[in-house]
Amino acid sequence: VRRVTGRRCGESRTRAAILAAARDHFAARGFNGASLRAIAAAAGVDTGLIRHFFGCKDDLFIATLHVPDEVFEWMRKALDGDVGRLGERMVDAYLRLWENPATAEPLLAVARSAISSKKGTNRLRAVCGGSVFRDFLPHVGIDRAETRIALAGAHLMGVALARYVVQVPPLVNLGRDELIATCAPAIQRYLTEPLP
């Protein structure tokens, strides 16, 4: 049993290494300029193993854009509790997604490709319009839920890109709790208060 577990752990580490190398390579070269051979070299595996785990280049690209279940679970959990502090919990949960490499790397890959290619744009639009937000809507239980979630999401994405990716100094220097307290009122308003 231990050997099987060991092999599974090794497999999952190898898959993760391939995905990380693929995300960097697709970001640097775009989908068309990317090659399985270069990704395999960066991950320290051969291309056969990539084909075995992921299939063709298109399948691997889709896999790099897979948003893990934790993303949706953490955001859903943030919905529970006092509605008056929903903004605070949403900012907290969203920052946590970007502080954890297992969730931050796929989110960054989706954001990058959405901004650089039509293929990625369609993918991000599908995620935004997809299960997450359909699940959210009944919980929020307020008029114009899709508009509210899009506004809150756009604001939070801007903050995450500025703080974690571009690393704009004033946002990097804000403490986590201070950033939550600073952004929560805007998110609270978008989600729960009257809009024009």
* Binding site residues, a copy of itself, CB under 8 A: 27-33, 108, 111-112, 114-117, 121, 124-125, 128-129, 146-147, 149-151, 153-159, 161-163, 165-171, 173-174, 178, 181-183, 185-186, 189-190, 195-196
Nearest 5 degrees, angle CA 100-CA 35-CA 52?
Answer: 75
Residue 11 or 193 having the CB closest to a copy of itself: 193
The CB-of-97 to a copy of itself minimum distance in angstroms stands at 15
| Cα distance between residue 43 and residue 60, in whole Å | 13
Give least dist CB 143 to a copy of itself, A: 13
d(CA 12, CA 5): 10
Report how far residue 137's alpha carbon sits from residue 105's, in angstroms, rounded to the nearest whole number: 26
Instruction: Decide whether 40 or 152 has the Cβ nearer to a copy of itself.
Output: 152
Specify the residue, 54 or 190, whose C-beta has the smaller distance to a copy of itself: 190
Whether 79 contacts 86, CB under 8 Å = yes
